[in-house]
Amino acid sequence: MLAGLAVFTAGLLLLHRAIPNSVGRMGSLLETFLPWLGAVAALLFCLALLRRSVLALVASLLPVAAWTYLFGGLLLPGAETGGRGLLVVQHNVGDDNPDPAGTARALARARPDLMALEELVPPALGVYERILAADYPFHAVRGTVGIWSRYPLRDVRAVDIRPRTITEPWSRGLRAVVRAPQGELAAYVAHLPSVRVRASGLASAARDESARLLGDAVAAEELRTVILLGDLNGTVDDRGLAPLTTRLAVPRRGFAFSYPAAFPLARIDHVMARAATVGRIRALPGTGSDHVPVAARVKPLGS
């Protein structure tokens, strides 16, 4: 039994793309929590040691090897972009955050060059604007998403990523040109629709449609360098985000699980880039939000 479970776990890790999404989006559901199969692999290995079964022990090495192949690189040191890159922070601040002032101060202590915030609602928006104004003189907000920058912004506009099933007013995307020392770049901030885990599977159709719209906008961007910051309500392994992950580079170091803040299980808050390298992504100390902020350094190619 242990050997069979080990082979099955290794198959899930290596062949997760083969699991169809046609019923309950089971493929995306598995991919959301794919790194946690490492815990299953470790448990099977320990049980095989206790049983002293050569067959089970050899079989248990298969999921360990598969997990290491897929995720081991995230644990390696290094992969920093160097001091000339832009330090960026992404955070869903939470629309019911009881301490927006404390959240703003905590984010400012990380001293990022760019900061993307989601779920900005009145009157909390005014608190963020007031506290961040001294260090971040340039900012823009569209709907419930915003960007704060140490460098001038221009050509700010909303990005329409509203899925067809949402008919009420809904604005969760923006694009701005940042006049950074490394050169001008297009910064996108987005908050994709939430997903729900139900008895029938993963309800992610609206999220997937919004990801396609955002991917089309990024593909049409004329500026060479693009940075995408946002709460995408999915992990980089989730095929629902393929319109973005196939076009943009993602961090190759660091897990930085960001949700839920009480016990982070997945990184759904992201830093991605085009024509740039993304260094190690890391989680920052928690705030009053139900998300954990994440930070990474992004270095445009050729800078």
CATH number (domain holding residue 156): 3.60.10.10
Amino acid identity for residue 124 in this structure: A
- Whether residue 80 is contained in a domain is answered as no
Whether residue 137 is predicted with pLDDT greater than 70 in this model: the reply is yes
Quote the pLDDT of residue 302: 80
- Whether residue 81 is contained in a domain is answered as no
**Are residue 191 and residue 133 in the same domain, yes or no?**
yes
Whether residue 135 is predicted with pLDDT greater than 60 in this model: the reply is yes
Whether residue 271 is predicted with pLDDT greater than 80 in this model: the reply is yes
- For 68-115, the pLDDT digits (tens) are 999 999 999 865 555 679 999 999 999 999 999 999 999 999 999 999
- Whether residue 186 is contained in a domain is answered as yes
**Are residue 157 and residue 243 in the same domain, yes or no?**
yes
Across 119-126, average pLDDT: 97
Helix (H) or strand (E) holding 116: strand 114-118
Average pLDDT, the chain: 95
**Are residue 60 and residue 90 in the same domain, yes or no?**
no
**Are residue 100 and residue 245 in the same domain, yes or no?**
yes
**Are residue 91 and residue 70 in the same domain, yes or no?**
no
Q: What is the dihedral of CA 287, 102, 231, 78, to 10 degrees?
A: -70
Q: Could you tell me the residue range of the domain that residue 234 belongs to?
A: 86-300
Quote the pLDDT of residue 268: 98
Q: Which of 42, 85, 31 has the alpha carbon at shortest distance from 278?
A: 85
- Whether residue 44 is contained in a domain is answered as yes
Q: Last residue of some domain: 45, 75, 105?
A: 75
3 state SS of 117: strand
Across 220-233, average pLDDT: 98
Whether residue 122 is predicted with pLDDT greater than 90 in this model: the reply is yes
Quote the pLDDT of residue 199: 77
Q: How confident is the model at residue 156 (pLDDT cuts 50, 70, 90)?
A: very high
Q: Last residue of some domain: 48, 75, 102?
A: 75
- In the block, tokens 């928006």 appear at 125
- Whether residue 173 is contained in a domain is answered as yes
Whether residue 200 is predicted with pLDDT greater than 80 in this model: the reply is no
**Are residue 159 and residue 91 in the same domain, yes or no?**
yes
**Are residue 190 and residue 156 in the same domain, yes or no?**
yes
Quote the pLDDT of residue 80: 58
* Number of domains comprising the chain: 2
Which of the 8 DSSP states describes residue 287? -
**Are residue 177 and residue 52 in the same domain, yes or no?**
no
- Whether residue 170 is contained in a domain is answered as yes
Whether residue 172 is predicted with pLDDT greater than 80 in this model: the reply is yes
Q: Last residue of some domain: 52, 75, 98?
A: 75
For the chain, percent of residues with pLDDT exceeding 70: 98
**Are residue 111 and residue 225 in the same domain, yes or no?**
yes
